[in-house]
Amino acid sequence: MLLETESILSIIEEFEKGKPIVMPIYPSAVYEFLKEEEELNIIWRKETGYRYGRWSNPTVRALEKKMAQMERCEDGLCFSSGMGGITATLFAFLSEGGKMLIIKEVYGDTLSFVREFLPRCGVEIYVHSIEERDEIDRRIDEGLDLLYLESPTNPTLRVIDIKNITMKAKAKGIKVVVDNTFATPINQKPRLFGADVIVHSATKYLGGHNDTMGGIVVGSREDISKIWVIRRLFGNLMSPFDAYLILRGIKTLALRVEKQNESAMKLAKWLEKHPKIRKVFYPGLESHPDYEIAKAQMRGFGGMIAFDIDTNADGAAYFMDSLKLIRKAPSLGSVESIATRPAFTSHRNLSKEEKERLGITETLIRLSVGIENVEDLKEDIDRALKDV
């Protein structure tokens, strides 16, 4: 064999003794077969296996199995972003003439997709605040194809009684999807309350280090195989490198989340007594409207806090610019603490009335608590509040 031929033949190292302790990254986009029949069996889904990188990938599959286990589900799928997973899930279960209800407090881009794109496909949309529980129950009784929830919500951390609403929906045969990004499976497992499909932005707590993007969807084998078809056609599978990073992140998820739960609780209690703070939103505080639900439903209250500063919009901007340790950035759930002003960032597209109704004032700060020492975080906030 001549050198140019030899050079393109891969050597695939087998592990006879000593196996890798972590899941390797498999960049292969194509998989070969000893016999053609083996490939045909995969195409016709008679057997599972790898064939083409847009269909599935072993590193990605390891993460799917890991997350399915953690959320107590049968199977899972990984996507290139949280939105990739959310949109594929909605396309899998909704078609022309279908009806869905989504709560108004969900992540902004989820709501934009539902409001702007699904009606183009002939899907009827109902959007209700979690406060409009009677309206939600009425819509459930009238019949829906899908109910989409998120809990805790962004940025005021409202907590929905998932079991209660899911039981009503399931009795009517409605598919229930829950975005569990804020809680993570460490703090909440919606499947145990009857939810069908659980979606995550893995960009947040699961990855946990602000260095990767991804989405993960878990549910029954049957539901996941329907969503798999959409992922295959949309082509938005997670890359093996991102799957590797998220698998790595998940190893410390429980440790990080426990620390974040603890620090967020300390900060919330401290902020509640701070003379420059008008209101604190944290489901672990007895003053929070959903404290009792959160206590029953969640193992920890999470690492997200929102607080309203007793000032005007300029004062809040001054506070943001005075922070030194806490970063001003979008996103959440990482080891670094991050602050943002939702009225101008994540929720900028809501009308003035909608923002007012949801408590999203120009002085509201959303804080994603990281794993720094909580005393350093207090010092940073206290100093930034001084001249406000």
List interacting residues with ligand PLP (CB under 6 A).
81-83, 107, 110, 150, 154, 179, 181-182, 201, 203, 213, 215
Residue nearest to ligand PLP (CB): 82
Residue 72 to residues 85, 89, 301, Cα–Cα distance (Å): 18, 18, 20
Q: Which residue, among 97, 200, 207, 102, has the nearest Cα to 146 in the 3D structure?
A: 102
Query: Least distance (Å) from ligand PLP to the CB of residue 30?
Result: 27
CA distance 151 to 329: 22
Tokens 């930034």: give the residue: 384
Nearer to ligand PLP among residue 177 and residue 280 (C-beta): 177
CA distance 252 to 383: 31
Nearer to ligand PLP among residue 181 and residue 297 (C-beta): 181
Query: Least distance (Å) from ligand PLP to the CB of residue 340?
Result: 10
CB 366 within 8 A of CB 268: no
Query: Least distance (Å) from ligand PLP to the CB of residue 180?
Result: 9
CA distance 59 to 90: 25
CA distance 95 to 98: 5
CA distance 94 to 224: 14
Query: Least distance (Å) from ligand PLP to the CB of residue 280?
Result: 20
The three-class DSSP label of residue 239 is coil
Nearer to ligand PLP among residue 152 and residue 300 (C-beta): 152
Nearer to ligand PLP among residue 231 and residue 311 (C-beta): 231
Query: Least distance (Å) from ligand PLP to the CB of residue 156?
Result: 13
Query: Least distance (Å) from ligand PLP to the CB of residue 240?
Result: 17
Nearer to ligand PLP among residue 57 and residue 181 (C-beta): 181
Q: Are strands 364-368 and 338-340 parallel, antiparallel or unpaired?
A: antiparallel
